[in-house]
Structure formats: structure tokens, C-alpha cells
Structure 1
Amino acid sequence: MSYRYLKLASILLPTILIGGFEFMRHGVFLDHFSMETGNYIITLLTFLISCIYTVWLFRVIEVKNNRITKEREIHAIYEERERLASELHDSIAQSLFLMKVHMKKGKLKEAGALTNSIDTQLRQAIFNLRLTPDEGTTFAKRIQHWLDNWCIVSGIDASAEINIDEDFFSASEEVILFGIVQEAFTNIQKHSAASSSSLTLTGQNGGWELLIEDNGKGFKPDELMHGHYGLTMAKERAEAISASLDIRSEPGTGTKFHLKGYKNNG
């Protein structure tokens, strides 16, 4: 039922029912009901009609809102996937070009490293396509599964501690947050020279925190400002889910990647 019909029903239904009773009361039932009895009946009738209609109306609105929310989440998921596909295309195209240059120059070691990089990117892309939020697998299990694969590919140990309810994040928020996690660990693999890393995700009372740490070589603050670690996209993703991102590091002390946000339950 469209909102136009809901609007017409809200205007006409109470008017027809209550107004019709008043015409019947002053016509057919005039000799059967006293004025006081009629007032009680019309009050009770108005109350019953209001209760029944309001419950039905809000149920219809709730169904429509849930459908709209689901459609928006699906749209957000496809947008995120399209963006990831575009990033993957550009990254692989650049890697293939560099690999071709290295092979022409006889730099087989560098070409082999690029081959491994392309393999890693493709593995991550295939993982993202296979595991989607609507498959019934929890968000925590998807992260743990991806981290297990990442450890094998990168050779870096990674531990995960995730304490959130199963339905804490919406499907679209899970996709965006998953992309942030991947971006952070990709940077650990490429730049940190770390031997171990960890992920902690907690959420309660509408607030949540994500902390990713490594024991790598760290970096100077001005290197981050110049985009050396490619975290601009992670910041944009954080803003998309109303979260703040704080990255702290010093040479030789590793890096802390801290994301903090609040759920809007209104």
C-alpha cells in the first residue's frame, strides 16, 4: 500500500466511521439512547477505532521502513563492492605494468614480488565475493577467517578478540568496516616489517571501538600526513559510518590504528 492511500485512509476512515455513527445516533437510535449513553458510546468507539487503526498503520509503516532500510543496505553493499573492484583493477593494472618493466630489465626478483602482490590481492577479492553479510556467517567469523588467510599469505601472526553482538552492525556497516580492517592489515603487510599484529573489536551500549596494532618499525607522523601509508580511503570509510580514526606511531614502536564510533539507534 502506497503512502498516498495511507494518507487517504487516515483522513476518511475515522471520519466515515465516527460521523456515520453520529448520523445513526441522531436518526435511527435517537429514541433508544439517551444523550449521556450516546456520549459514552461515541467515546468508546473513537478509542477502539483509534487503537485498531493506529496499530495497523504503524505496522504498515514499520514494514515499509524495514524494506527501505534493507534496500539501502543492499545498495551500500554493491557500491562498496564496485569501489573495491575499481581499486583492484587499478592496483593490478599498475602491478602488471611494473612487472613488465622489471622483466624487460631482467629484474626477476622484483617481478616475482609483484606476482606475489597480485596473488594476494586476488585472494582477498575472491574472499570478499564469497563471504557476504547475507550468507548467515557472523561478522566475527568472517573477520577471523580472513585474518587466518592473511596470516598464511603475509607470514605475520595475527590475533583477534571480537566482543560484539551478532546483529550489532547493519549489513552495509559490516561491509565498510570489513574494508577498513583489510586496508589496515594490507598496510601492515606492505610497510610495517612486523612479526605480529592484533585486532580488538568491542561494542556495547551503542558505542564501539576497533583497535589494530603491530610490532613493526613504525613511521614518522609526517610520513602519514603525506599519504605514504595510503590510509586516506580508510578515513573516508570511517566517516561513512560516523566514526573517528586515530593513527599513532613512532619509529621503532609499531603502529596503533584506533577507530571509535557510536550507533545511531534513533
Structure 2
Amino acid sequence: MSYTKIKWIILFLPTVTIGLWEYIRHQFLMPYLSMEVGNWLSPVIIYVVSVTLLRQLFDMLENTRAALDQERIVKGKLEERQLLAGELHDGVAQSLFLLGVKLDRAKRMYDDPQVQETLNDISRTVSEANHDVRQAIADLKHVPRSGETEEVSLAYRVWEMIPLAGVQTQLDWKLDDQYIQPEEQAELLACIREGLLNIHKHARASQVWIHSEGNPTGWQIVIEDDGEGFHEQSLQLPGRFGLKITAERAQWRGWTFALQREQERTLFIIKGGQHDE
């Protein structure tokens, strides 16, 4: 039933009820009911109708209004996402594309090996940044499927990000959403996204595993890959700022972030709460 119909029913139901009661009372019940008793019964009947039919209608009205408000919120968020995607495409993405073109021209102008190496490094950084921006635009333009709401589980959102790793990935998610505050979930997803993108760009892995676990005292997420590993010096190279941002995100939220190598596998670890070591 539509929101407008419910309002009209609530408006006219008491009038129709009292009118119907007065008709029945005068046509059929006058020989059996005195005028005083009939007058007392009128508010009683209105009260009974109010606590039964009208109460249900008010509940329906509130539910319908809440659904409409949620629909408006979702529509507004989608419009904001589309606007932001357009701004990224027309601004940052186009600038990165033009920068790449200019770098290609510069590489053809200089023969010095050191200059060529520097320009190649800058070109790779620009290419990675352009890829990230394009992926962000694609994510922003994603339109939720019919029936999909904003209340999507963390496990599902992580599952949607699996293709970012670029290789076969296994997901073992045992972390309940209740252990992470809603305002923290966006930051956590950004960290996981950076971990998967880092594997795709640099690890040369053939297999990735995502594990998670949690309880009321703390939680832990581990992204594991069988790639070639990393060197501390390489993390300081130009363009390798993603892991630094991840560390800053974790520190800001009071989490623990670690990148370590164990048994020829790289572990990208984020811990939150009072998780025991």
C-alpha cells in the first residue's frame, strides 16, 4: 500500500467509523440502547478502532516512510558517487593521461641512460596511479543490483575486491561485522584494497589467501601471498606510498599494521581491538 493511500485511510477511518456507528445505532439499536449509553459507546468504539486498525496503519506508515527515506538516501549517495566519478575522470584521470603522453615524448628526446631510467620510473608511477584512478572510477560507477542495500557485509565487500589481486585468491572470512564499528569499516576496506593492489603490482604471486578472525576482545586480518617478497629499501622508492598510507590509517584507528616475510610467503597483517599476540 502506498504512503499516500495510508494517510488518506488514517484521515477518513475515524469519520467513517463514527458515521457507520451512528447509522446502525439509530436504525437498529434505538429500541435496545438508551441515548446516554449510545453516547458513551461512541468514544469507546473510536478507541478500539484506534488501538487496532489505526495502530497498524501508523506502523505501516512509519515503515513506508522509513523505506522512502532510505531510498532517497541511497539515491543521493549514488548521485554523489556518479558526480565524483565524473570529476575524477575529467580531472585527475585526464591529467594523468596527458602526463603519460608528455613522458613518452620526453623519453624520445633524451638518450642519456640515467635520464631514461628516471623517466621510466616516473612513467611506471604515473601508470600505476592512472590504474588506481580508473579502478576508483569503476567502483564509484558501480550501481547496486536490485534488492542490494547499503547493509552489505564486510565479507561480501572483501569478496568483491578479490579480482584486484590479479591472481587466484582464497577467502576464509570468520570475522563478524559486529566486532568492527561501522565508521571503521571503510578504513579497513581501504587497507585491504591497498594490500591486494600491492600484490598485483609488485609481488608477482600466483596465489593469495585472505584470512580473518575475531572475537569480543579483538580481531585480525591477514593477506598472504606466495610472491617474491619485498625489501625494506624498495618500500622507500618513489610511488610506493600506498603502504605508508595504510600504516597511517591503521595508526589513526589504533590498529596494528605489519608487513612481514615467513616461510617464503609475505604477510600483510592488520589487528584491531585488544587482540592477543
User: Please, what TM-score do these two structures have when normalized by structure 2?
Assistant: 0.52
Letter of the structure 2 residue corresponding to residue 249 of structure 1: A
TM superposition shift of 1:85: 5.1
SS in 2 for 1:47: helix
- Aligned CA distance change for structure 1 residues 109 and 218 (closer, same or farther; 3 Å): closer
Does structure 2 conserve the Cα–Cα contact (< 8 Å) formed by 1:210 and 1:258?
yes
The 2-side partners of 1:245 and 1:81 are apart by: 32
Letter of the structure 1 residue corresponding to residue 171 of structure 2: A
TM superposition shift of 1:161: 2.9
1:256 to 2:269 alignment: yes
1:98-177 correspondence to structure 2 within 5 Å: 100-101=102-103, 103-105=105-107, 106=110, 107=116, 109-110=120-121, 113-114=124-125, 116-117=127-128, 120-121=131-132, 124-125=135-136, 127-128=138-139, 131-134=142-145, 143-144=158-159, 146-152=161-167, 158-162=169-173
Does structure 2 conserve the Cα–Cα contact (< 8 Å) formed by 1:218 and 1:255?
no
The 2-side partners of 1:228 and 1:180 are apart by: 9
1:32 to 2:43 alignment: no
The 2-side partners of 1:214 and 1:128 are apart by: 24
- Aligned CA distance change for structure 1 residues 199 and 228 (closer, same or farther; 3 Å): closer
Name 1:63's counterpart in structure 2.
64
SS in 1 for 2:77: helix
1:179-198 correspondence to structure 2 within 5 Å: 181-187=192-198, 193=203, 195=205, 197-198=208-209
TM superposition shift of 1:38: 6.5
The 1-side partners of 2:157 and 2:242 are apart by: 29
Name 2:181's counterpart in structure 1.
none
The count of corresponding residues between Structure 1 and Structure 2 is 232
TM superposition shift of 1:66: 0.2
SS in 2 for 1:52: helix
Larger-Rg structure:
2
TM superposition shift of 1:62: 1.2
The 2-side partners of 1:136 and 1:18 are apart by: 42
Does structure 2 conserve the Cα–Cα contact (< 8 Å) formed by 1:95 and 1:118?
no
Does structure 1 conserve the Cα–Cα contact (< 8 Å) formed by 2:175 and 2:212?
yes
Q: CA RMSD in A?
A: 5.6
SS in 1 for 2:63: helix
Name 1:93's counterpart in structure 2.
95
The 1-side partners of 2:261 and 2:72 are apart by: 46
TM superposition shift of 1:245: 6.8
The 2-side partners of 1:65 and 1:72 are apart by: 10
Does structure 2 conserve the Cα–Cα contact (< 8 Å) formed by 1:159 and 1:197?
yes
- Aligned CA distance change for structure 1 residues 229 and 144 (closer, same or farther; 3 Å): same
**Structure 2: tracts of 5 or more residues without a match:** 111-115, 177-183
Does structure 2 conserve the Cα–Cα contact (< 8 Å) formed by 1:133 and 1:174?
no
User: Please, what TM-score do these two structures have when normalized by structure 1?
Assistant: 0.54
The 2-side partners of 1:146 and 1:22 are apart by: 66
**Structure 1: tracts of 5 or more residues without a match:** 166-172, 261-266
Name 1:246's counterpart in structure 2.
255
State percent identity of aligned pairs: 15
